[in-house]
Chain A
Amino acid sequence: MWVLSFGYESSFAPPSVLPDISPTRGVPNAAPKTWLSCQCCAMTRALILLRRRLVGSIFVLLIVVVGTFLLLEAAPGDAVDAYIVSTGGDAGMIELLRHRWGLDQSELTRLANYLWALLHLDLGQSVTFSRPIRDVILERLPTTLLLMGSATALSFGLGSALGIYAGARPGSFRDRFLSIGSLALYAVPGFWLGLVLIIVFAVDLRWFPIGGIESIASGKTGLDRAADIARHLVLPVSALGFIYLALYLRMMRAGMAEVWRQDFVLAARARGLSRQRIVLAHVARNALLPLVTMLGLQSAQMLGGSVVIESVFSVPGLGRLAQEAVAARDTPLLLGIILVSAVLVVIVNLLVDIAYAFLDPRVGASEAGA
């Protein structure tokens, strides 16, 4: 599905930005200069955008919260049903539990209570952990951010670099090889790639630990601890990052193939610019814009992907917590996780929009002018 949309994405965004930039004769760094001169109006545009998006985000989050609540309520069985699977118990005990966990109240009352507490920035109490949800989530959030951030950096960095390499000569052997190779990786299910990495690099070669986020009760601190965490992250980050690598690679490559056909590239060639300069400063730079959009979209997908990867590598992150919350029918906990994830995605997309405002003069220009 993503692959199909590449052509469309790349055909509308970059080329129209180009004409003002490239004909500036004999000035190699022409592009940044044009943008720099418009720095202040870009800032205003960014602020306007921010304001508009923040108002929109609140509605998005409200819809997310109510929707999730209703969905989880529609699932058969409640937190007590999930709990007694492992304990059993008589009717009196079950009634007692329902009362203690507030499940004897109607759905509407519980939703209203939840929203009221949320208004006071209180995420409530988890029934599974008997602890404030804020604490449970804050404990796991850094791990997931670290995992997701590293994986996004890997797929974006390596993906676009390989995309440039492939796109420098569209249709060449290396282009074909990389495109097919990355697509094959993209087609692989995440858990399977994770398992293969574990068997090869953790069980057979024993280069990396099999899972977890750091060595158990090792007493390591400072740099030692950082190195230990990094060692634990190598396999899960690779598993998560390699899958999405294809997206950036293909997008970069497709964008570049498009740009190669532009007149200004021909002009640059005629001016006798080196091939390397044409590839990096003119073709790749102009193909980069849609990748930034993709980065925003991808952040949401990565959260989903981390559910599987976190389970396979026993990483104590948000994804696994979400899965446990669903299985335990811990509605408030799941709502908290989804809310935090939604906020994360909104923030990333805001950053992307702001980056866009700086990169593309048309974004937000209409309001700034009015």
Chain B
Amino acid sequence: MSEFTISRRTMLAGSALLLASTAMPTIGWAQTPKKGGRLVVAADSEPRNLNPAIVASNGVFFISSKIVETLAEASFDGKDGLDPRLALSWEGDADGLSVTFKLREGVKWHDGKPFTSADVAFSALQVWKPLQNLGRTVFKDLEAVDTPDEATAVFKFAKPTPFQLIRNALPALTSVVPKHIYETGKIEDNPANNAPVGTGPFKFAEYKPGEYYRLEKNTDYWGKDQPYLDEIIYQVLPDRTSAASALEAEEIQLAAFSAVPLADLDRISKVPGLKVITKGYEALTYQLIVEINHRRKELADLKVRQAIAHAIDKDFVVKTVFLGYAATATGPVPKNDPQFYTADVPTYDFDVAKANALLDEAGYSRGDDGKRFSLKLLPAPYFNETKQFGDYLRQALAAIGIDAQLVNNDSAAHIKAVYTDHAFDLAVGPPVFRGDPAISTTILVQSGIPDGVPFSNQGGYKNAELDALIAKASETLDTAARTELYKEFQRKVAADLPLINVAEWSFISVARDTVKNIANNPRWAVSNWADTWLEA
């Protein structure tokens, strides 16, 4: 029964994708892009380091992906879900020890110097591998980058590294920075980290702290006729309500990354000239999870974890907390992932009676006050939705006799409490799915991670079988076999519940009608916007 629903849903999603891909060219054909104009965008934070090669995070990409390009970008219809950028093609050897990139020729850095394979080699070995938050994991076995000519870079790995992983890492992890600017002095202290130089369609022009970032058109860009916009301004709007007002007052034309709160979307979608867009974040899925501290005696009992899973009404969460802008989750890989997701996992339907029965079975009967035991619940403060879900979870647990005490912290305090001090029983977390389980979801399950590593398994969970599975998948070269291992991983996680996956969601953009070519790839908000244009 449930399988039928899910396959129908997958089919629907598939046909929606098809529809979208056929609709897209029509839109492009009907209107010829206009050149010129200034696009003003809301920015809610000011990253301290704008170098995406060092800090691979959405906050940094939002601004610097227009300036510094990666080897490839995510795509709705390209081969392997990729579109070429600085690399034209990529080929992995069967032994998993080398990957060959053919690079785009005739590309110039913003300062006029030519882009060559030496820049790629430098970025990979000096920046991604030793310094980048994610690259340190993916490129840990990268030994050398050979550059037989200026347009070829061959990555050499010391240990077999799955080509599928490298491919999936291309859009986020491979920002190429200029060797001639970074080779002198310490890379972390280079002034270009705050005024990036790249090959992208826009050049970094100006930053006024607390006010705005200004990017201007790169007239030497390799893309034909691109970019269309003359300028992009990121206006810093720290208050949650100001993005919506600024859109209405026509002071900005675009608010991405859900800068407009969900509760305002209904109202703002009725304002003439504004549209709400849910596409363009498919590859930036966030997972709403309940992190569990297995050091706690009660929570180490599988029956208790199952009871908690049965106590959560996922549909209610999607409808009430996310106002419908989310999907219920079945396991550690989100449903919208095109490569790894499987629906064939144990599921936990909303059933309070069953949850109560499981707890009775486990030996935690209700006391005179109706409570079985109490625990500390720490919702992550980074999103409104994680805080609201914390409130919901407290009530849901009360219904099965578990008394949850909410502990609200700010971001720094939450990180310290959960991932360093382990001072939690349950925590609500929003980890990101990065398109490959090796660089996302597995870290929440795997054991042996040192204290203090954020968004990782700090709940003391240890399962030798799962650890072995994760280790095996990380060195399996065959794509089909590797995918199958991660499907097995999903089944095992859903069965043993080291954590509980509740929902999956992504961001919403609100834009003026005049902004064209929005949301045309799965990482649109953090892609280069070379084809975005403004209708006069």
The complex places the Cα of A129 from the Cα of B411 at a distance, in Å, of 18
The complex places the Cα of A20 from the Cα of B453 at a distance, in Å, of 74
Question: Is the C-beta of B452 less than 8 angstroms from some C-beta in chain A?
Answer: yes
Nearest B residue to A95 by beta-carbon distance?
B452
Of A82, A203, A217, A321, the contact of B210 (CB 8 Å cutoff): A321
Q: Is the interface of A mostly helix, strand, loop or mixed?
A: loop
Question: Is the C-beta of A109 less than 8 angstroms from some C-beta in chain B?
Answer: no
Asked if A81 and B209 sit within 8 Å, CB to CB, the answer is no
Residues of B within 8 A of A94 (CB): 452-453
The complex places the Cα of A312 from the Cα of B416 at a distance, in Å, of 29
Question: Is the C-beta of A296 less than 8 angstroms from some C-beta in chain B?
Answer: no
List 12 interface pairs A-B (beta carbons < 8 Å), by A numbering. A77-B411, A77-B417, A85-B415, A87-B56, A88-B134, A88-B455, A91-B453, A94-B453, A130-B49, A130-B189, A213-B211, A328-B412
Question: Knowing A76-B416, A85-B415, A87-B57 touch, does A209 contact B251 (C-beta < 8 A)?
Answer: yes
The complex places the Cα of A213 from the Cα of B454 at a distance, in Å, of 37
Since A81-B412, A216-B212, A317-B210 are in contact, a sample of 12 more A-B pairs with Cβ atoms closer than 8 Å, ordered by chain A residue number, is: A77-B412, A87-B133, A88-B57, A89-B454, A91-B450, A92-B136, A93-B131, A129-B48, A203-B249, A311-B239, A314-B242, A316-B209
Interface string of A288-307 (1 = CB under 8 A from B): 00000000000000000000
Task: Please provide the chain B residues from 173 to 217 with a CB less than 8 Å away from any CB of chain A in the complex.
Answer: 188-189, 194, 206, 208-212, 214
Interface string of B233-266 (1 = CB under 8 A from A): 1011111011001101101000000000000000
The complex places the Cα of A210 from the Cα of B231 at a distance, in Å, of 21
The complex places the Cα of A13 from the Cα of B455 at a distance, in Å, of 61
B331–chain A nearest beta-carbon distance, Å: 21
Residues of B within 8 A of A84 (CB): 415, 454
Asked if B415 and A77 sit within 8 Å, CB to CB, the answer is yes
B40–chain A nearest beta-carbon distance, Å: 7
Chain A CB within 10 Å — which of B231, B409, B414, B452 has the most? B452
Task: Please provide the chain B residues from 76 to 132 with a CB less than 8 Å away from any CB of chain A in the complex.
Answer: 131
Asked if B242 and A88 sit within 8 Å, CB to CB, the answer is no
Of B236, B242, B248, B454, the contact of A85 (CB 8 Å cutoff): B454
Residues of A within 8 A of B212 (CB): 216-217
A-B pairs with lowest CB-CB distance, top 9: A316-B210, A77-B412, A82-B412, A77-B416, A76-B413, A91-B450, A81-B415, A81-B412, A89-B133
Residues of A within 8 A of B160 (CB): none
* Chain B residues close to A by CB (< 8 Å): 40, 45, 47-49, 55-57, 59, 131, 133-134, 136-137, 188-189, 194, 206, 208-212, 214, 231, 233, 235-239, 241-242, 245-246, 248-249, 251, 382, 409-417, 420-421, 449-450, 452-455
Question: Knowing A77-B416, A100-B188, A202-B245 touch, does A88 contact B133 (C-beta < 8 A)?
Answer: yes
Chain B CB within 10 Å — which of A88, A139, A217 has the most? A88
Asked if B411 and A210 sit within 8 Å, CB to CB, the answer is no
The complex places the Cα of A25 from the Cα of B236 at a distance, in Å, of 63
The complex places the Cα of A198 from the Cα of B242 at a distance, in Å, of 9
Asked if A212 and B211 sit within 8 Å, CB to CB, the answer is yes
The complex places the Cα of A315 from the Cα of B236 at a distance, in Å, of 9
Question: Knowing A88-B134, A314-B238 touch, does A206 contact B249 (C-beta < 8 A)?
Answer: yes
Asked if A203 and B245 sit within 8 Å, CB to CB, the answer is yes
Question: Is the C-beta of A118 less than 8 angstroms from some C-beta in chain B?
Answer: no
B22–chain A nearest beta-carbon distance, Å: 37
The complex places the Cα of A206 from the Cα of B206 at a distance, in Å, of 27
Question: Knowing A78-B412, A216-B211, A314-B239 touch, does A87 contact B206 (C-beta < 8 A)?
Answer: no
Asked if B411 and A139 sit within 8 Å, CB to CB, the answer is no
Residues of B within 8 A of A92 (CB): 136
Residues of B within 8 A of A93 (CB): 131, 133, 136
Residues of B within 8 A of A320 (CB): 210, 238
Asked if A217 and B206 sit within 8 Å, CB to CB, the answer is yes
Asked if B208 and A86 sit within 8 Å, CB to CB, the answer is no
Nearest B residue to A100 by beta-carbon distance?
B188
Chain A CB within 10 Å — which of B189, B237, B251 has the most? B251
Interface string of A181-213 (1 = CB under 8 A from B): 000000000000001001100110010011111
